[in-house]
Structure 1
Amino acid sequence: MRSINRSVKAMARATQPARRALARTAAPATPRVASRARSEPASGRFTAGVALGPGGMRRYRLFVPTAVPAGEPLPLMVMLHGCGQDAADFAASTRMNLLARRERFLVLYPEQDRMASAQRCWNWYETRQGRAQAEAALVLAAIDQVCLLHGADRNRVALVGLSAGAGMAGLLATRHLHRFAAVVMHSGVAPGVADSTATALAAMRGRRLPAAQVQDDQRDLMPWPPLLVIQGQNDLVVHARNGAAAAQRWADAVGARAAPARILQRGQRYPMTVTDFKRSGRTLATLVAVDRLGHAWSGGAGRLPYGDAKGPDATRMAWAFASRQFARPRPPSPER
């Protein structure tokens, strides 16, 4: 844990100039969230909540667009922040709420507690002691609470994570395969690669391979949700090899094969290499390797740490990917 925190602190020091500039123009964290929520009364509500579970409690933020008729089930995007962030930071960096306002979906931002991690990192790798599983259960409890209290559609839930949040998203999705229609991992490590601090550090440096693959006769019994991986090729925190490994891990689990890669560029944004992994004509995993992108949300708010406005818009990519999966019928699950 201390080694992970030292790595994160080094990354945070590199972003201190941006943080100081932001601090000069913004109020402290809690008032800033309240001010932002009050400034958008006609567009949506950004409310606070708490989820409880065997692992304790976690706060969360929920964005609800306005003018939603009572009883209308809306899709839910679950956003898991990275180290050095909280729910409000992640919302501001990704600007997912702006898209949710226009496209009409709910956005849930579970928040890691400083008592669990000084740098607010999700402990995605602490599986030996069960700490990772306990945190995953708390995220799931927040999802269940939002579905119950705010009418989110349980059949249209997508999980999105950045860095440590991506690691937690991978863990949560593979432990509850039927609960999610889509998963997006941005700058994260494939599930099953690490189970301790030492193995997590090795994985982040690109020195560990994914766990053993699922056998052919198990694939039809393992309906993994489709996965979108977004990975910066200049990432100095989570090595670029991890993006390809995560996509390949998913593809192997569902028996998908890689289609020819294609290079895309939108305007003056960084170019990206896109590889789809398909089975029976359906794309079950997609890898987006972004040239020149470091450890930051692609297309995120450039004035904030962990956002790079020059990258292709990961927020739009995540929603477009999830909405395609929402449109597909899904088999019933005993977990629902």
Structure 2
Amino acid sequence: MKFDEGFLNSMREAMRLLRTRGPAEATEAIQRSLRGETNGVAHKTAPWDATPEAATVLFEAPTIREAETLDAREARIDVEDRGHFSTHAHSNAAGRRQYRLYVPAGDHGEPLPLIVMLHGCTQNADDFAAGTNMNVLAERHRFLVAYPEQSQQANPSKCWNWFKPDDQRCERGEPSLIAGITREIVAAYNVDPARVYVAGLSAGGAMAAIMISSYPELYAAAGVHSGIPAGCAHDLPSALAAMKGGRRPRQARYAMHDTASLPKRPVIVFHGDADATVHIRNATQLVQGFDARPREGREQRRTDEGRRAYTVSGLVSADGVDAELWTIHGAPHAWAGGNPRGSFTDPTGPDASAEMLRFFLEHPQRQ
């Protein structure tokens, strides 16, 4: 096969980035080349598109895979080299998953919050950390951030398997691994158990919804960005139907009106109303059950200078559990206000990371 000079130059640039900036940026350069782009625009293809059946492996690059284990990749996260970004692994009967952990610099003796961040399909921990800027916020506001990583052995596109029955249950499958990682960090570090949170994007958002539903005693609140409600799929066809806002499986429709399934913990939801991958109807389903009584100033349309307009709806359940729904007008399937160094980011949106953090810190675990 003969490659043109432009493509070869792109590959040389990717190898340079691999050596100097790490695997995530090298992969981004390759993907930009394949799309015919020459600038640093973030991905416009939705992470949901890479379903297990549809995934096509374009590059098998052992050097990139091996570089994932190098400590040098820690230098890619701009936090003024103060905190520590390390790699760990957790195993149980369901398998083994690596995770990255950011710990802010200094030990002031106080217990710190922990946020568990679940990436979307085709992403990894470094990519998600770069795109959300969560490590920068962690250094500034002093909290820990964990990034569990899905393996390609478990899902070829590195999607969390939110649509498989065994991966939707408490103490089974992937939820047990994510909960195990969370407990491991709480036990090993000075973490405030009343301020442990979970958040995610796309497939990671769907898994975050499962985690807050299955482990309300472990997580004080959840953030779901462009995600899917828990329990709305049992296989790939039903998952695709749910993503497109189609008819829910019968058991999920019943669950929505079951008092036992009413919200137990606060949730903040972000979704673009131009999302062509996951229908915004999923966002309204995520906050169903919170509309027993509106919060004061329930709905406000806002526009920050230079950013997309958005509407914030504040809701409260019958038991006094809060929720916020952020509808971002004209936004695609991407992390709002994210850093374009990461994939699936929309820099022109409101700052979802900062707003999630604000919401989380307002909602410690209630007894």
TM class, shorter-chain normalised?
Answer: 0.7 to 0.9
TM-score, scaled relative to structure 1: 0.83
Cα distance, 1:92–1:48 mapped onto 2, change above 3 Å: same
Tell whether 2:180 aligns with 1:138. Answer: no
CA contact (8 A) 2:112 2:192 kept: yes
Distance 1:40 1:233 in 2: 32
State which of 333, 338, 343 in structure 2 corresponds to 1:305.
343
**Distance in 2 of aligned mates of 1:238 and 1:14:** 23
The structure-2 alpha-carbon separation of the partners of 1:311 and 1:41, relative to structure 1 and needing over 3 Å to count, comes to closer
Question: Distance in 2 between the 1:98 and 1:92 partners?
Answer: 9
CA shift in 2, pair 1:299/1:223, >3 Å:
closer
Q: Which runs of 5+ in 1 are unaligned?
A: 1-11, 332-336
Contact 1:232 1:292 in 2 (8 A): yes
State the percentage of identical aligned residues: 34
Partner of 1:148: 187
- Within 2, Cα distance between the matches of 1:120 and 1:315? 22
The partner residue of 2:307 within 264, 269, 290 is 269
Provide the residue aligned with 1:211 in structure 2. Answer: 253
Is 1:119 aligned with 2:157?
Answer: yes
After superposition, the CA RMSD in angstroms is 2.8
Query: Take 1:68 and 1:19, find their aligned partners in 2: how far apart are those partners?
Result: 44
Cα deviation code 1:197-219 (max 9, x no counterpart): 11100000000345323545x58
Unaligned runs of 5+ in 2: 1-29, 41-62
- Which of 163, 177, 196 is the aligned partner of 2:216? 177
Q: Secondary structure at the match of 2:128?
A: helix
Corresponding residue to 1:294 among 317, 332, 338: 332
For each residue in 1:231-282, what CA deviation from the matched residue of structure 2 results, as whole angstroms up to 9, or x when unmatched?
Answer: 011111111111111112x426xx4557742201111110111111124795
- Partner SS for 1:109: strand
Match of 1:321 in 2: 359
Distance 1:116 1:65 in 2: 31
Q: For residue 160 of structure 2, give the secondary structure of its aligned residue in structure 1.
A: coil
The residue that corresponds to 2:43 in the other structure is none
* Alpha-carbon distance between aligned partners in 1 of 2:346 and 2:181, rounded to the nearest angstrom: 29
Q: 1:84 offset after TM fit, Å? A: 1.0
* Cα distance in 2, alignment partners of residues 15 and 176 from structure 1: 42
* 2:79–2:136 Cα contact (<8 Å) kept: no
What residue is the counterpart of 2:10 in the other structure?
Answer: none
The answer to whether residue 366 in structure 2 is matched with residue 330 in structure 1 is: yes
SS of 2:239 mapped into structure 1: helix
One-letter amino acid of the structure 2 residue matched with residue 330 of structure 1: R
Do the aligned partners of 1:277 and 1:285 also contact (CA within 8 Å) in 2? yes
The aligned residue for residue 266 of structure 2 is 226
Distance 1:56 1:149 in 2: 21
Q: Cα gap change, 1:16/1:182 in structure 2, threshold over 3 Å: closer, same or farther?
A: farther
Tell me, yes or no, if the aligned pair for 1:15 and 1:305 is still in contact at 8 Å. Answer: no
In 2, Cα distance between equivalents of 1:104 and 1:116 = 33
**Partner letter of residue 229 of structure 1?**
V
Going from structure 1 to structure 2, the CA distance change for 1:51 and 1:240 (only over 3 Å counts) comes to: same
Q: Is the aligned partner of 1:110 residue 2:148?
A: yes
The aligned amino acid for 2:188 is L
Distance 1:132 1:280, change over 3 A: closer
State TM-score, norm by structure 2.
0.76
- Distance 1:77-1:19 versus aligned 2 partners, 3 A rule: farther
Q: Of 60, 63, 67, which aligns to 2:99?
A: 60
- The one-letter code sitting in structure 2 at the alignment partner of 1:181 is A
Shift of 1:19: 8.7
Give the AA of the match of 2:120: G
Note closer, same or farther for the CA distance 1:43–1:286 as it changes in structure 2 (3 Å cut).
same
Q: Retained in 2: the 8 A contact 1:159–1:180?
A: yes
**Which residue of structure 1 aligns with residue 20 of structure 2?**
none
Give secondary structure in 1 for the equivalent of 2:107: coil
Q: What is residue 9 of structure 1 aligned with on the other side?
A: none
Q: 1:257 to 1:69 in 2, by over 3 A?
A: closer
Q: Kindly provide the amino acid, as one letter, of the partner of residue 174 in structure 1.
A: S
User: Are residues 74 and 185 of structure 1, via their aligned partners in 2, closer, same or farther at CA, if it must alter by over 3 Å?
Assistant: same
CA gap 1:92/1:57 in 2 versus in 1, 3 angstroms: same
- The aligned amino acid for 2:161 is N
Q: Is the 8 A contact 1:256 1:279 kept in 2?
A: yes
Deviation per CA, 1:38-62: give whole Å up to 9, x if none. Answer: x757420000100111111000000
